[in-house]
C-alpha cells in the first residue's frame, strides 16, 4: 500500500459508489451529482450519514479499507456513500454537496496540500483521517534516510484539519498521531467466509506468498533460508514448491517456483492451497507501520505462517502458538524446516491462527467499532457547535 504524494495522488477514473447499490457511476454522472443526487445506502432515517473519500479503487488501501468495507458499515447501521478524492472542479462541487448531506467525512490516506487541508475545514461536517501505512516517512530511503519533511508536514496538515483519526495499528497511533487527537485503531479487516486449508498429509508441499511485485525484495530475503531448509530434508521427503501469487513472475534460482497471477476472485482459493504462508519484512521505518494484512489472510484460511517480528506481525502472532516468528536467516531456515516436516504442527498452528482472526479482524467486528467511533466524533462535534 502506497500513500498518495503530497498535493498529488494516483490517477484513475472518477467514479461514485453507494454502499448497498452495487453500482458505480461514470465521470459524467459524478459531474452532475451536485444537481441530481441518488439516495444513499438504505438504512434507518437516524443512521449515521458517512461520506468516504478514497484515492483510487486500484490501490489496495482504497479497496480494502473503503470499498470492500462499505457494505459492512452499512450493515452496522451507517448510511454510506463512497466518492473518489476529487481532482476536477466538477468532482469538488459534488463533494461539497455530498458533505452537506453527511454527518462525517472519512478521508482515506490523502496527504493534502495547504489549500486542500483548508478546504477540509469548510466541508460542513467533521473530517476523520484514515491511514494504514507509515505515511510520514518514505517507502524507500534516500541517501540512507527514510525521513521526509514534505510528508511530515502534509500529515500534520491532514491531522490538523481532522476531528479524529483511524489508523491500522498501534504503532501508527503511537508514532503518527499528536497527543490529544481522538483515535481508533482499526486493523484492515479480512474476509472470514473464505476457503480454508485442507489439513492432512501431502504428496507435494507448497510454501506460499501473496502480494505485489513491488514487494518482491521482501520475499527475496527468505529464498536462501528456504534453499537451505529444503537441502536438509530427507531424500524421500515430499517435494516442495514456492507459490507466488502476484502481478508478475518471481524468479528464484534453485527453487521450484509456481507463479500465479493475482486476482480478487481467486486469491482466496490460492491462499488456502498453501501449506506454509510467508510474511518476511525488513525492519525499517516504513515496514514497522505495516498492518500484517497478508498474514491475517493466511490465518483466516488456517494456513500456518512464518513472519518477521516487524510491525503488527509481532502483535498478531504468538510465536509457537498461532504461528512462528523469524528474524534472522537461521531462524527462518529452522522455522521452515520444522513446519515442512510436521503436518501436526502445521494443523495446530493453522487452527490457532484462525481463532486469533475470527472474529476480531473480520468485517462485522471492524465495521461495528468504526461506526461507534464515528458516532462519538459526530456527537462531540455537535456538542461543541451548540
Quote the mean pLDDT of the chain: 90
In a domain, 198, yes or no: no
Q: Which residues of 242-277 are buried (b: 16+ CB within 10 A; e: fewer)?
A: bbbbbeeebebeebeeeebebeeeebbebbbbbbbb
The length of the chain, given as a count of residues: 386
Cell of 93: 462541487
Are 237 and 304 in a shared domain?
yes
- Which of 24-28, 246-250, 276-280, 283-287 comes out lowest in average pLDDT? 24-28
In a domain, 327, yes or no: yes
pLDDT for residue 386: 76
Beta bridge partners of 259: 244
Cell of 237: 521427503
Q: What residue numbers bound the domain in which 220 lies?
A: 205-357
Q: What is the pTM of this model?
A: 0.87
Kindly tell me if the per-residue pLDDT of 23 is higher than 60.
Answer: no
The 205-210 sheet, strands edge to edge: 257-261, 240-246, 205-210, 276-279, 305-307, 324-325
Q: Taking residues 278-283, what's their average pLDDT?
A: 98
Are 240 and 311 in a shared domain?
yes
| Torsion from C-alpha of 302, 279, 133, 68, nearest 10 degrees | -30
Kindly tell me if the per-residue pLDDT of 8 is higher than 50.
Answer: no
In a domain, 1, yes or no: no
Q: What is the pLDDT of residues 34-91, one digit of tens each?
A: 333 344 444 444 799 999 999 998 899 999 999 999 999 999 999 999 999 999 999 9
Are 350 and 250 in a shared domain?
yes
In a domain, 6, yes or no: no
pLDDT for residue 15: 37
Are 239 and 105 in a shared domain?
no
pLDDT for residue 10: 33
Are 129 and 229 in a shared domain?
no
Residues with Cβ within 8 Å of 341's Cβ and at least 6 positions away in sequence, in order, are 233, 237
CB atoms within 10 A of CB 121: 12
Residue with cell 495446530: 348
Are 264 and 330 in a shared domain?
yes
Q: What is the pLDDT of residues 289-343, one digit of tens each?
A: 999 999 999 999 999 999 999 999 999 999 999 999 999 999 999 999 999 999 9
In a domain, 197, yes or no: no
The number of distinct structural domains making up the chain is: 2
CA dist list (Å): 203 to 149, 223, 348, 385: 54, 22, 20, 67
228 CB-contact burial (10 Å; exposed 0-12 / middle 13-18 / buried 19+):
middle
Are 20 and 143 in a shared domain?
yes
CA dist list (Å): 89 to 10, 101, 115, 126, 256: 17, 19, 14, 22, 52
Cell of 291: 498492518
Start-end of H helices in the chain = 27-31, 60-62, 70-75, 89-100, 114-120, 149-160, 170-176, 216-220, 223-231, 267-272, 293-300, 313-316, 329-341, 343-357, 363-385
Residue with cell 502458538: 321
pLDDT for residue 2: 33
Are 211 and 172 in a shared domain?
no
Backbone dihedral region for residue 200 (phi beyond 0: left; psi -120 to 50: alpha; all else: beta): left
pLDDT for residue 145: 98
Are 172 and 25 in a shared domain?
yes
Q: What is the pLDDT of residues 174-217, one digit of tens each?
A: 999 999 999 999 999 999 999 999 999 889 999 999 999 999 99
Cell of 91: 468532482
Q: Taking residues 145-167, what's their average pLDDT?
A: 98
Residue 33: pLDDT band (50, 70, 90) is: very low
Q: Taking residues 110-115, what's their average pLDDT?
A: 96
Kindly tell me if the per-residue pLDDT of 28 is higher than 60.
Answer: no
Residue 277: enclosing H or E segment and its boundaries? Answer: strand 276-279
In a domain, 199, yes or no: no
2 vs 248, higher pLDDT: 248
- Strand 24-25 to 16-18 pairing: antiparallel
Question: CATH no. for residue 23?
Answer: 3.40.50.2000
pLDDT for residue 40: 46
Amino acid at each position: 500500500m502506497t500513500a498518495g504524494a503530497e498535493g498529488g495522488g494516483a490517477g484513475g477514473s472518477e467514479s461514485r459508489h453507494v454502499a448497498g447499490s452495487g453500482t458505480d457511476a461514470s465521470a459524467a454522472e459524478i459531474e452532475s451529482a451536485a444537481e441530481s443526487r441518488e439516495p444513499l445506502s438504505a438504512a434507518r432515517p437516524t443512521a449515521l450519514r458517512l461520506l468516504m473519500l478514497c484515492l483510487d479503487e486500484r490501490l489496495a488501501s482504497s479497496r480494502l479499507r473503503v470499498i470492500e468495507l462499505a457494505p459492512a458499515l452499512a450493515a452496522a447501521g451507517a448510511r454510506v456513500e463512497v466518492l473518489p478524492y476529487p481532482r476536477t472542479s466538477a468532482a469538488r462541487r459534488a463533494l461539497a454537496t455530498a458533505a452537506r448531506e453527511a454527518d462525517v467525512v472519512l478521508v482515506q490516506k490523502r496527504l493534502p496540500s495547504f489549500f486542500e487541508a483548508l478546504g477540509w475545514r469548510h466541508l460542513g461536517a467533521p473530517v476523520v483521517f484514515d491511514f494504514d501505512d507509515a505515511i510520514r516517512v518514505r517507502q524507500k530511503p534516500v541517501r540512507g534516510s527514510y525521513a521526509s519533511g514534505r510528508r511530515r508536514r502534509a500529515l500534520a496538515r491532514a491531522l490538523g484539519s481532522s476531528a479524529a483519526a483511524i489508523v491500522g495499528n498501534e504503532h501508527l497511533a503511537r508514532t503518527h498521531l499528536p497527543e490529544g487527537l481522538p483515535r481508533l485503531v482499526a486493523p484492515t479487516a479480512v474476509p472470514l467466509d473464505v476457503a480454508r486449508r485442507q489439513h492432512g498429509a501431502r504428496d507435494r508441499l507448497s510454501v506460499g506468498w501473496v502480494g505485489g511485485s513491488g514487494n518482491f525484495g521482501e520475499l527475496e530475503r527468505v529464498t536462501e533460508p528456504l534453499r537451505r531448509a529444503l537441502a536438509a530434508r530427507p531424500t524421500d521427503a515430499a517435494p516442495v514448491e514456492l507459490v507466488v501469487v502476484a502481478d508478475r513472475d518471481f524468479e528464484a534460482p534453485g527453487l521450484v517456483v509456481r507463479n500465479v497471477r493475482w486476482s480478487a476472485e481467486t486469491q482466496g482459493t490460492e491462499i488456502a492451497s498453501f501449506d506454509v504462508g510467508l510474511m518476511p519484512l525488513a525492519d525499517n521505518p516504513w515496514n514497522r507501520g505495516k498492518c500484517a494484512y497478508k498474514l491475517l489472510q493466511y490465518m483466516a484460511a488456517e494456513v500456518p505462517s512464518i513472519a518477521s517480528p516487524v510491525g503488527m506481525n509481532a502483535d498478531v502472532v504468538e510465536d509457537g502458538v498461532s504461528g512462528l516468528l523469524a528474524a534472522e536467516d537461521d531462524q527462518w531456515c529452522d522455522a521452515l524446516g520444522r513446519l515442512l516436516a510436521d503436518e501436526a504442527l502445521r494443523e495446530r498452528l493453522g487452527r490457532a491462527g484462525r481463532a486469533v482472526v475470527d472474529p476480531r479482524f473480520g468485517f462485522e467486528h471492524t465495521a461495528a467499532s468504526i461506526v461507534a467511533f464515528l458516532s462519538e466524533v459526530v456527537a462531540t462535534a455537535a456538542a461543541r457547535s451548540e
